[in-house]
Amino acid sequence: MKELFLLDPKTVFLNHGSFGACPKPVFEKYQSYQLQLENQPVKYFVQDVALMLGKSRAKLADFLNVDVENLAFVNNATTAVNLIANSLNVGVGEEVLACNHEYGACSRMWNRLAERRKFSYREHEVQLPLYSDEDFVENFWADVRPETKVIFLSHITSTSALILPVAEICKRAKAQGILTIIDGAHAPGQIPLDLSEIPCDYYTGNCHKWMLSAKGSAFLYVSEDEKKNLHPQIISWGTDLQSTGDTALAAELEYQGTRDFAAFLSVSDAIDFHAEFNWNEVLQQKRHLLYKVRTIFSNIFETAPIATPEFMPMMYAHQLPDTWNPIVLKQKLLEDFNIEIPVTSVGTQNFLRISVQGYTSFDDIEKLANALELIKQQFV
């Protein structure tokens, strides 16, 4: 499987989660679109690209099981979350509720926006360890207040690699008229994802992580009810120049002046790649490696997992004891052992987070385990 990717064979690459990795056949198609553009730029932008985007968007809509009219390409989940947040009608005395495992850039955005727009942003503290979805839902819901107008929640937390029961949260929120925004940055392609089963108002997911498309490809789903409330941040020709293949939503959101659409187009090829190689099955066959890592980490770090395996996607984050310096650990793994693996954090708690992708081998895991043993002997 490693030969299918462009990753440097000298690096033990255990951080698929941060930026993904694009397989060769998808990458080649991606660059071929850029070449096609240069062949006749006017024809490409005025005629061809709308049809090609329409095809890619329709395939993505099938993949996610949503209506294509409610879907638009964006560069990444961060961009989508900013777009949604800037369109929200929340003000003084009202709050956006999230949890304390959200992605740092999103927390930063919410805090800045809350300050400027005079609403409140609050993070529910997740009770660890997590034993069941019901636990999470009950605890989270006990923290919802009358002033909670919006719930913002990660589908898979970036910091702690936990699948959160967002469908159930959205169901409860809908019943109470609370708007829901799901940050699925890490979800599509990593876990089975059927958006028709998650009654949210907004959902965003990256395609360049686990769906394996080129960098800068992600989607925004918006419910039919919320469409009218969404203000594009970059207004261009929009529906005034709507081309064949465009939906109204795509015309308003995707055309932001001249830019390269190749990453969006590569989503179609990434979906083909998934089908051709039966990639879901490939991932399932690698899942035993995650259980192995779980045991290895528990033994080496002498701490218990923060959640039962049902919360585990194709990433696993294990908490580091205070005796392990996270910066030194990260640096030693990379510099002394050529192992690329991130240390993440929730507040003062640090985690070592591994990603298992189709190209991850048993040998990679062994190299990591041996490196950790050596580091432990050296400096703990």
One-letter amino acid for residue 40 of the chain: Q
What's the CA gap between 50 and 184, in Å, rounded? Answer: 26
Closest CB to a copy of itself among residues 60, 170: 60
Cα 78 to chain centroid, rounded: 9
Q: Is 37 in the site for a copy of itself (CB under 8 A)?
A: yes
Q: Is 277 in the site for a copy of itself (CB under 8 A)?
A: no
Q: How far is the CB of 173 from a copy of itself (least distance, A)?
A: 24
Backbone φ and ψ for 350, nearest 5 degrees, come out as -100, 150
Tally Cβ neighbours within 10 Å of residue 30: 23
Cα 74 to chain centroid, rounded: 13
On the 0-12 / 13-18 / 19+ scale of CB atoms within 10 A, 224 is exposed
Q: Is 229 in the site for a copy of itself (CB under 8 A)?
A: no
Q: How far is the CB of 204 from a copy of itself (least distance, A)?
A: 10
Through-space distance between the first and last CA atoms of the chain, rounded to whole angstroms: 36
Q: Is 89 in the site for a copy of itself (CB under 8 A)?
A: no
Among 146, 177, 192, 257, binds a copy of itself (CB under 8 A): 257
Closest CB to a copy of itself among residues 18, 378: 18
Among 59, 75, 128, 349, binds a copy of itself (CB under 8 A): 75
User: Is the bond into 129 cis (omega within 30 degrees of 0)?
Assistant: yes
Q: What is the largest CA-CA distance in the chain?
A: 66
Q: Is 236 in the site for a copy of itself (CB under 8 A)?
A: yes
Q: Between residue 286 and residue 305, which ones bind a copy of itself under the rule CB under 8 A?
A: none
Q: How far is the CB of 4 from a copy of itself (least distance, A)?
A: 12
On the 0-12 / 13-18 / 19+ scale of CB atoms within 10 A, 287 is middle
What's the CA gap between 288 and 187, in Å, rounded? Answer: 19
Among 3, 240, 335, 363, binds a copy of itself (CB under 8 A): 240
Q: Report the interface residues with a copy of itself, using CB under 8 A.
A: 5-8, 11, 13, 15, 18-22, 27, 30-31, 34-35, 37-45, 75-79, 82, 86, 104-105, 108-109, 112-113, 116, 206, 208, 214-216, 231, 233-238, 240, 256-260, 263, 340, 342
